[in-house]
Amino acid sequence: MSRSEPEPAELELDLAHVRPHAGDVE
């Protein structure tokens, strides 16, 4: 299964790993 476009939820989780307070900024 090739997933070139990850789900928004997965993207948010990915960002959470890099920037834990990314959601706070938005």
Three-point CA angle 7, 13, 19, nearest 5°: 130
Can you give the pLDDT at residue 20?
59
Checking if the pLDDT of 4 tops 70, the result is yes
Three-point CA angle 7, 11, 22, nearest 5°: 145
Give the rounded percent of residues in the chain with a pLDDT score beyond 90. 0
Q: Residue 11: which region, alpha, beta or left (left: phi > 0; alpha: psi -120 to 50)?
A: alpha
Query: Distance between CA atoms of 24 and 3, rounded to whole angstroms?
Result: 28
Query: Distance between CA atoms of 18 and 26, rounded to whole angstroms?
Result: 15
Can you give the pLDDT at residue 6?
60
Question: pTM surpassing 0.85?
Answer: no
